Structure 1
Amino acid sequence: MKRQTIWGLALTASFASAAMAEIAPGDVVYDEYGAVAQSLTGQPGDPARGAEIVSNKSKGNCVACHQVSALPDVPFQGNIGPALDGAGDRWSEAQLRGIVADAKKTFEGTIMPSFYKTGPYIRPGDGFTGKAPKGDLPPLLSAQEVEDVVAYLMTLKE
């Protein structure tokens, strides 16, 4: 009986690790510099999908603040944040994942939004209208979208 129980537990553990679940925003592990070593999904990112997210106004919209020379057809690119050209050379995959998920862990005081965070947030709307939303908010990007953006940024080499 013990042998069957141990065998069943081992099988369950192997299936669980093979089908890794998405890491929830509150469970992401950042190192002391803000890097996130572990994939948020266990699946590789899609660079083509990442490029769409970077330039899509209803998703990442990274080009609102950053310039990306590899996207010449995207108009009105920003100059508030650093150019993303060469991002794959300047930062590691883990550093880029941390920056996209929550840039404030790497760059204290940055105005870059946290794309994979649900709270806590400072709610200045309460001081003006008292109507700021309460509780956690959904992340701006899904875990797979973060992985897609990271995969795209890794292609941006000097």
Structure 2
Amino acid sequence: MKLRLLTLVCAMTGGAAFAADTDPKNVTYGEYGAVEVSLTGAAGDPANGALIVGDKSKGNCVACHAVSALADIPFHGEVGPALDGAGDRWSEAELRGLVANAKMTFEGTVMPAFYKDDGYIRPGDAYTGKAPTEPLTSILTAQEIEDVVAFLATLKEE
């Protein structure tokens, strides 16, 4: 039974191997922070990426960046550069690196690392001694990173 199921799955997918998401600790950043390889092996969904960029409980990119394509979302920020034309300014690999962990490209940036789960400083230890001790998870999943990158790649200069 298991062999038939595996054969059926392979036939349906053309025999393609299933790639697991790259763990945040295993992301390979280039010299200037670019991430050449997809974190999932699957294409990103630009429509879902747009939702994440504008979602105040997820990516919330509009809190710091202006994005004309999301003009229906109020209160765009001015802390970071406008994202209009991002698809022309940066390659897909550079966008992936910036979204995953912008500090690998811009050391002093205030942009959070959206795909990182260790190495954080927990200020509660210094102030209250009550910082959480459980492991942290990344802000976005690997597929959400790919979706945001796919959306940003659609933002071209007009």
What's the TM-score, normalizing by structure 1? Answer: 0.88
Structure 1 runs (4+) deviating above 3 angstroms are none
Q: CA deviation at 1:126?
A: 1.1
CA RMSD of superposed structures (Å): 1.5
Gaps of 5+ in 2: 1-13
Residue 45 of structure 2 is aligned to residue 49 of structure 1: no
What's the TM-score, normalizing by structure 2? Answer: 0.88
Task: Work out whether residues 120 and 136 of structure 1, in 8 Å CA contact, stay in contact via their aligned partners in 2.
Answer: no
Q: Deviations over 1:111-153 (max 9, x none)?
A: 0000000011111221111111225310000000000000000
**C-alpha distance in 1 between matches for 2:133 and 2:35:** 28
**C-alpha distance in 2 between matches for 1:61 and 1:87:** 17
Mapping of 1:142-153 within 5 angstroms?
A: 142-153=141-152
**How many residues end up aligned between the 2 structures?**
144
Mapping of 1:7-22 within 5 angstroms?
A: 18-22=17-21
User: Which residue of 1 is the match for residue 7 of structure 2?
Assistant: none
User: Which residue of 2 is the match for residue 111 of structure 1?
Assistant: 110
Task: Work out whether residues 100 and 114 of structure 1, in 8 Å CA contact, stay in contact via their aligned partners in 2.
Answer: yes
Q: Deviations over 1:88-116 (max 9, x none)?
A: 00000000000000000000011000000
Gaps of 5+ in 1: 1-14
User: Which residue of 1 is the match for residue 39 of structure 2?
Assistant: 40
